[in-house]
Structure 1
Amino acid sequence: MRVLARAEAALLNQTGYLFPWSPVCLAIGIGLYFGLRFEPEWPIYVGLGGAVLALLGLSRAPLPGWGPLAIGGALVAAGFILAGARAHMVAEPVLSWRYYGPVEGRVIAMDRSASDALRLTLDQVRVGDVPAGRRPQRIRISVHGDAVPIAPGQRIMTTAHLSPPQGPVEPGGFDFRRHAWFQRLGAVGYTRVPIVTIAPAADGVGGVQITAWRMAISQRVRTVLPGEVGGLAAAVTTGDRSGMGQATLDGLRASNLAHLLAISGLHMGLLTGFVFVSCRIGLSAVPSLALRMSVRKVAAACAMVAAVIYLMLSGGNVATERAFVMVSVMFGAVLIDRRAISLRGVAVAALIVLVLRPESLLSPGFQMSFAATTALVAVFGALRDFRSVSIPNWLKPVIGVLLSSAIAGLATAPIGAAHFNTMSHYGLPANLLSVPVMGVIVVPSAVIAALLAPIDLEAVALNVMGIGLHWILSVSEWVSELDGAQGHVVSPPAFVLPLIALGALWLALWQGRARWGGIAPIAIAFLLWNPGHRPGILIAESGGLVGVMTEHGRALSNEQGSGFVAGVWLENDGDGVDQIQAALRWPEEAGKIRRFTLHDKEVVHLTGKRAAQGFDECHDNQIIISAVALDLNGNCGLYDPDRLLRTGSLSFSDGKLTTSAAETGHRLWSPKSPGNRLSQKDQYVRIRPTKRP
C-alpha cells in the first residue's frame, strides 16, 4: 500500500506536465502494432476499442492521480487501432511475380536512385495484360542509359523489368516491403530501353500539376546556378535532388550536412522565421498600422501562408509535412496568445503527425526531427529559468548557435548511427560553419528570389543564394576529406533505440529529481550496443551472395552482383570497406564453388549454373546455398531458390538459423502468393539435415 501511495503522490506532482506524454503513449501503441509477427483480426480491434472506452470512463472515476494512467492506456490502445486502420486504408495490389514486358503510366515523381540513375514513379499504371484487380496502383522504375526529357504529368511507355518490393536483406533488418506498402508502391524495377511519351501533361491544378511547377522552378534555378551549386539550390527550394551528383551527396553525408538537403524543420523554421520577422519589422515601421492591429499576429499569419506555399512547392513529402505541422502549431499558438515554443506545442505537432501517418514513427526523419526539437525546447526552457548568469547581448547569438548545434547533434547522433551506421566526427564544426550561412544568406535570398520572380529579376537573389551554397559545399568537401572524418558504427539490437528514447524522454518530460533516473536506461542501451550480436553467416534472398564473419570482418562470396545487399550487410557490420575488398577476405579461391568452415559446419556457395551442374555433394555437416535449383541426395542443409522463396534472407548465429520470413511474420505487406507460404520448418529452424529425394 505504501508503494501505491508513493506512486499516486508522484503522479499528482506531475499535474499540469503530463500532456507531453500523450504522443509517447500513442507511439507505444503504434510500435506494438508494427512489432507483431501476425496481422490482427477484427475481434482484436473491437476489444481494443472497448478498452479505450472503458479506460476513458475509468479516468473520470474519483481515483486521485490514477486518471492519467487510464488516459495513457487508452492512448496506447488507440495508437494500435490507428496504425492498423492506416495499414488497411493504403492497401493496394502488389505484384507477386517477376515481370518483363510493356509498362505504361503517368509520371508523378522524379528523383535519383542510390546508383545515381533517374528514377520515375508512375501511377495510372498498365502492365501488359495484368487485370485491374492485380495491377499495382503505383510503380517505380530506374532509367538506365540515356533518357529523353521527361516532365511530371506525361504519360510514358517503355519495356521494363519489374518485381515485388524486396523484403529485408537480413532477418530483422529494414523491411522495404513495409515501406513500399505505405507508399502504395506495388512494384519496383528498371528499364534499359528508350522511353516513349504517349500523352503530354494534362492542364489543370492538382498534385501532378504542382509537381510540374516544382520541376519548372528547379530547372530555372539550375539555369541561373549551373553545376552542383544549382543542384543543391534546387534541392533546398523545391526538394528536387535530381541535379546533384553522388559525390556531392556522399560529401554532405560524411560531413553531417546531409540534413540541409531534406526540406524539414530547419528549412521551414528558417523560412517562416524570416517571413515572420520581416513582416513584423515592416509593419511596426508604419505607426498607423502598428497602432491599429496586432502586428505579431499578422506576421504569424503571413508566416503560415509562406509555410503553406513552401509545403506545396517542396513536394509535400513526409519530412516537409512534419515540419509544416510543427511551425503551424507554433504560429497558431501566437495567434491565440500562447507561448509559441513549448513542450506542449511539440507534443501537439507529434500527435498530429502520428494520427495522419502512424507509419512515420519508424522513419529516421520523424525520430531525428522530434528528438532534436524536444531536446532543444527542454534545454533552452531550463536555461530560460536559470537567470543567475549574465551574458552580453552580442554574445547571445553566438552561444545560441553553438548550443543549438551541440544539443541537436547529441540528441540525433544515436538515431543517425543506428539507422545509417555512420558518425561524422567533425559534424559539429561543419554545422557551425554552414547552418548560420543557411539562415543568414541562403533562405532570405530564396524568399527574395520568389518575390522577384514575377518581374523576372530572381537571378539577382539566386546569385547571392549561390554564394552561400558554394560556401556550404566547400565546407562539406573540406570536412569530408579530413582524416577520420567519418566513422562506421555497427547496427544495434532492435531494443536499443526504444530504450534510449525512453530514457531521454524521461529526462526531458518528468518533473523533479526522479527525472535523472532516465540516465539508467540510456546507459544500459549503450552498454548493450556492441558488435558481438552480428550473425556469423548471412545469406541473400536470391541465393546469389553469402557473407561469413571472419576475424578481419565479413567475407563475401562474390565481388560483384547483389551490390545493394552487400552494401547493407557491410554497413550493418560497421565495416567501411566495399564489396570487392570484402570478397578478398574469402579464405579459399575455388572458382565458382566457394567454401568456408564455421565451427563444425562447411558453408558451400554455388555462384552460378556451371558450379551447380557438376555439384553432387550433400553431407551432414554442410550448408549449401545455390542461386540455381538443385536436386541432391543426402543430409545437407540445402537452400536453393525454391526454399529461399519461402524463407527470404537468412542468418546463422550461435548454431541457429533464422529466416526473415519468420522475423516479419504474416503481415499485410508480406508476400501473398502460394509459393511464398511458409512451412512450419522454414519459419524458424536450427541447422539440421534437409533430405532431398
Structure 2
Amino acid sequence: MASPAERRPSMALTGLQIAWPLWRGRTVERWLEAERDALVLWLPVALGAGIAAWFVLPDRAAWIGWMLASGGVAAGGLVLAGGTRAGRVLLVGGLAAALGCALVWWRAERVAGPVLARPAVVAFSGTVERIEPLPARELTRLTLVTEGGAGLPPKVRVNLADADMPIGLTRGARVSLRARLMPPAGAAVPGAHDFARVAWFAGIGATGRGFAPVKIVAPGEAAGSDLRQRLSQHIRSQLPAAEGAVAASLATGDQGAIPEPDADSMRRSGLAHLLSVSGLHITAVVAATMAVVLSLLALSPWLALNLRLPLFAAAAGAMAAVGYTWLTGAEVPTLRSCIAALLVLAALALGREAITLRLVAVGALVVLLLWPEALVGASFQLSFAAVTAIVALHEHGRVRAFFAPKEEGWGRRLLRGLASLLLTGLAVELVLMPIALFHFHKAGLYGALANIVAIPLTTFVIMPLEALALILDGAGLGRPVWWLCGEALALLLWIARTTADAPGAVAALPMMPRGAFGLIVGGGIWVLLWRTRWRWLGMLPATIGAGWALATPAPDLIVTGDGRHLAVRMDDGQLAVLRERAGDYVRDLLAEGGGADGELPAIDNMPTARCNADLCLARLERGGRVWRVLATRSGYHIDAAALAAVCRSVDVIVSERRLPRTCLPRWLKLDRPSLRRSGGVAVGFAGPWVRRVADDAGAHPWVYPATIAPERAPRHWRSVQRSTPRPRAVDSRRSAR
C-alpha cells in the first residue's frame, strides 16, 4: 500500500487538472466580458458559417451532420456552461450555424424547378419578364416565362442580336421565337464561375441564342414605360460612347454598353466597384438629397425654429434611397446598400451613432436571412468586406484620434484627408485582394492609389454634374453641364487605363484551395471584429491560408468539361491553347485557371509541340521526367489500331470524342465519357495531381436537377440527317508521333 508521501504527487496533479480548466474558464469569461460589445457582431458570422457549410459539404448526410453538430454545440453551451457568457455564446452560435444550413437548404428546395435536359433548337412562346440591353456586344438579353406544355423550363434566358429585336418589344409582351437552348453551364474548369448555381437560385432553367424572326403575339407595357432603360438611353445620347456608358452605369447600374476594353481596365485598376450601384452611389444620392432638403427647409425661419429639420431630411433621403434602388433594378447588391442606408438614417433619427460595426452586422443579417445564397457570391463578399474594413479601421482609437478634426491650417487638413483616403484604400485593398484572387484569380495592385483620386472624382464631381445635367435637361439647358461631366468621365477612364497598363498592375493566381480561402477569411473576420489584443491571433490562420494559397502549384494542363479546349503550360511557364480560333471567353477562362495574365498563344507555335489538323502532341519536363500529352482537335475518323499505338506511347490523352477501349495511355485518359463524369480537369505533373470540377460540386440540387425536354425532331428528319455523307477518314500516318 502506497504511503501518503507516495500519493501526494498524484493528488497534486489531480488538483492541477481541476484548477487549470477553472482558471481557463475564468480567463475566457473575463475576455468575453471585455468583448461584450463585439459579441453580437458574430451572429451573422455564425449564420454565414452554416450557409457556407451547406455549399462546401458534399451531400445530404453531411448537411444533416453539420446541423446535428451545431445543435450539439448549442446544447453544450446550455448544459455545460449554464448561465455564463461563454455558454450563451455557444448556445446562440450553435443555433445560428444550424439555422444557416437549414435556411439555405430550404431556399434551394423552394426555388427548385426543372432544367433543360439537353441542348435543343426549339420554337416556343413566352412572356417577357426582363429586357437587358447589351449595346457593347450588340445584343439584348431577354428573360422569358415559357408556356406550359412546351417541354421547356418555366423560365429561360435568351440573347438576341440587336438587328433581330422586334420594334416595340416591352416587358409583359408575349412573343414567339425560335432559339437554340442548353442547360445552364456549370464551372467549365476547377475554380471557375458556376453559372448553374446562380441560375438555379434565379429560377432559370435554360439559356441560349434566339433567331429571327421574333414575333410579338400580344403587346406588353406601354412603350417607354421602362424608366431605367429610357434614362440610360438618354444619358448615352448626351456623351461619347465610353463616357456615356460609364455615366449610364453610375445612374442606373446598366453596364451593358461599356466597351469590354474599358470594363477590363476598370477591373484591372481596382475601380470596377464604381460601375455597380452600391454603397458609394446610394450614399451620394442620400447625402445630396438631405443637403438639398435641409437647405430648402432652412430658408423658412419658422420651420427652422419649430421642427427637427434633420428628421425631415432623413425621411427625404430614405425615399431617395428607395426610389434609386427601384430605378436601378433592385438587384441584390443595391438592396444591400439601400438597407444599410435606411439603417443609418434610422440611427440618425434616433440620435444614435450612425456608422458602426453593429450597423454592418444588422445589414448582413438581413441579407442572409432573405437571400442566403448571396453569401457565396463575390458581390456580397467584396461589399461587406470593404465596409467592415473601413468601419473597423476608423473605429480604432488611434486612427480615430489621428483623423479627428483639429484646429489647423487648410494645408495640414488637406494632407490629413489624403492620408485618410490612402490608409483606407490600403486597408480595403488588403481585405479585398484574397477575395478577388479566389473568385477572379486576379487582383489589382495599384487600386488604393487609383481610388484616392477616382472616388472623390466620382462622388463630388461626376455624380453631381450628372444629376444637375439631368435636371437642366428638362429646360433644355443641360448641354454645357454634360460637356463638363464628359470631361470628368474622360479623366476617370484615363486613370483606369493608365493604372491598368502600368507594369505589374495585376497579380494573377491560379486556383486557390477553398481551405486556404476559409483560413484567410476566418482570420480576417477575427481581426476585424474583436477589440482587445486577442484580435491579433487571427493573423495566424490568415497567414497560414495566404502561405497555402501562394504555395499551391499552378496546373500544367487545364481541360474544359467538353474536352474541346485545353491549355498546356510549356517548359518556359507560358500557357498555350489547343485551338488557335478559341474565343476570348475561352482564352480568359483558361488564363484565369492557370494564373496567367495576357494573351495565350496557340500550341502550334511552341517548340516542344508537334501538331497537325487532327492531333497535337506536347512534351513537357516536370519532376525530373518527360510527360507526353496528346489531344485530338478534329472530328474525322482515325484508324483505331494506329490510335491505340499512339495512346500507349503517351501519358495523357484528351479528346472531345469517345475514344475506343483500346486507347490506354500510361496515366490519364480524358475523353467525352470521363469528362462527362468529372467535369473540367486541372492537372499538375509535379506530384502528380488531378483536380476535377466534380470534386467540388457534391450532390447539390443544381448538379443533379430534375430535367425536362422538348419533343425530339420527327423521325423522317432524323433519317435525313443519318443519310448525309459521313466525314472523310483520316490517314493514320497523319497522327502526331
- Structure 2 partner of 1:139: 157
Q: Which residue does 1:685 correspond to in 2? A: none
Tell whether the 8 Å contact from 1:25 to 1:73 is kept in structure 2 after alignment. Answer: yes
The answer as to whether partners of 2:192 and 2:593 remain within 8 angstroms in 1 is: no
Change (3 A) 1:583 1:90: farther
Quote how far apart the aligned CAs of 1:611 are: 5.7
Give 2:699's aligned residue. 666
8 Å CA contact retained: 1:110, 1:242: no
- CA gap 1:101/1:348 in 2 versus in 1, 3 angstroms: same
Deviation at 1:393, TM superposition (A): 6.5
Q: Which secondary structure does the structure 2 equivalent of 1:533 belong to?
A: coil
Equivalent residues of 1:27, 1:361 under 8 A apart: yes
CA contact (8 A) 2:70 2:97 kept: no
Instruction: Find the aligned partners of 1:289 and 1:409 in 2 and give their Cα distance.
Output: 45
Matched with 2:580 is 559
Closer, same or farther in 2 for the Cα pair 1:285/1:518, shift >3 Å? farther
| Greater Cα offset, 471-480 or 49-58 | 49-58
Aligned to 2:456: 436
CA positional deviation for 1:461? 5.2
User: What's the secondary structure of 1:65's corresponding residue?
Assistant: helix
Contact 1:110 1:152 in 2 (8 A): yes
Q: Secondary structure at the match of 2:609?
A: coil
Corresponding position of 2:99: 78
Question: Contact conserved, 2:128 with 2:145, CA < 8 A, in 1?
Answer: no
Which residue of structure 1 lines up, in the alignment, with residue 631 of structure 2? 605
Q: Which amino acid aligns with 1:631?
A: P
For 2:471 and 2:37, locate their aligned partners in 1 and report how far apart those are by CA, in whole Å.
Answer: 44
Give the structure 2 partner of residue 537 of structure 1. Answer: 557
For residues 114-136 of structure 1, what are the alpha-carbon distances to aligned partners after superposition, in whole Å with 9 as ceiling and x for unaligned? Answer: 98352413221259x633xx524
Shift in CA distance, 490/200, structure 1 to aligned 2, threshold 3 Å: same
> Is 1:55–1:71's contact at 8 Å kept on the other side of the alignment?
no
In the alignment, what sits opposite 1:596?
Answer: 618
Residue matched to 1:68: 89
> Structure 1 residues 60, 464: closer, same or farther in 2, change over 3 A?
farther
Partner of residue 16, structure 1: 37
1:471 matched to 2:491? The reply is: yes
Q: Compared with structure 1, are the counterparts of its residues 528 and 54 closer, same or farther at alpha carbon in structure 2 (3 Å cutoff)?
A: closer
Q: 2:278 — aligned with what?
A: 264
Matched positions, count: 667
Q: 1:121 to 1:38 in 2, by over 3 A?
A: farther
| Higher mean C-alpha displacement, 281-290 vs 180-189 | 281-290
The answer for the alignment partner of 1:627 in structure 2 is 656
Distance 2:129 2:481 in 1: 30
Q: 2 CA distance for matches of 1:352 and 1:230?
A: 35
What CA RMSD, in Å, does the superposition of the two structures yield over aligned residues? 3.3
Q: For the structure 1 residues 388 and 465, does the alpha-carbon distance in structure 2 shift closer, same or farther, using more than 3 Å as the test?
A: closer
Q: In 2 relative to 1, CA 601–470 (structure 1 residues): closer, same or farther, beyond 3 Å?
A: closer
Which AA in structure 1 matches 2:643? D
| Equivalence for 2:238 | 224
Distance 1:491 1:246 in 2: 24
The residue identity in structure 1 corresponding to 2:662 is N
**Shift in CA distance, 674/281, structure 1 to aligned 2, threshold 3 Å:** closer
Q: Which runs of 5+ in 1 are unaligned?
A: 676-693
Instruction: Using the TM superposition, name which of 98-107 and 114-123 deviates more.
Output: 114-123
Q: Is the 8 A contact 1:94 1:186 kept in 2?
A: yes
Partner of 1:616: 643
Of 408, 411, 419, the residue aligned with 1:392 is: 408
609-618 vs 177-186, greater mean Cα deviation: 609-618
CA distance in 2, matches of 1:293, 1:56: 50
Partners of 2:120 and 2:180 within 8 A in 1 = yes
Deviation at 1:291, TM superposition (A): 1.8
How far is the alpha carbon of 1:414 from its aligned partner? 2.6
Q: What are the equivalent positions in structure 2 for 1:206-245 lying under 5 Å apart?
A: 212-245=226-259
**Match 2:206 to one of 175, 187, 190:** 187
Secondary structure at the counterpart of residue 666 of structure 1: coil
Pairwise CA distance, 1:410: 2.9
Q: Which amino acid aligns with 2:327?
A: L
Quote the offset at 1:56 in angstroms: 8.8
Q: How does 1:139-218 map to 2 (within 5 A)?
A: 139-141=157-159, 143=161, 147=165, 151-153=169-171, 154-191=173-210, 193-203=212-222, 212-218=226-232
In 1, the alpha carbon distance for the partners of 2:298 and 2:392 equals 31
- How far 1:103 moved relative to its partner? 4.2
* Residue 609 of structure 1, CA deviation: 1.3
Over the matched positions of the two proteins, sequence identity in percent amounts to: 27
Q: Is the 8 A contact 1:491 1:573 kept in 2?
A: yes
Q: Distance in 2 between matches of 1:600 and 1:479?
A: 41
> C-alpha deviations, 1:307-345, integer Å up to 9, x for none?
001001111112111111111111121122221100100
- The alignment partner of 1:561 has SS state of coil
| Alignment map for 1:511-590 (pairs within 5 Å) | 511-530=531-550, 532-551=552-571, 552-561=573-582, 563-581=584-602, 584-585=605-606, 587-590=608-611
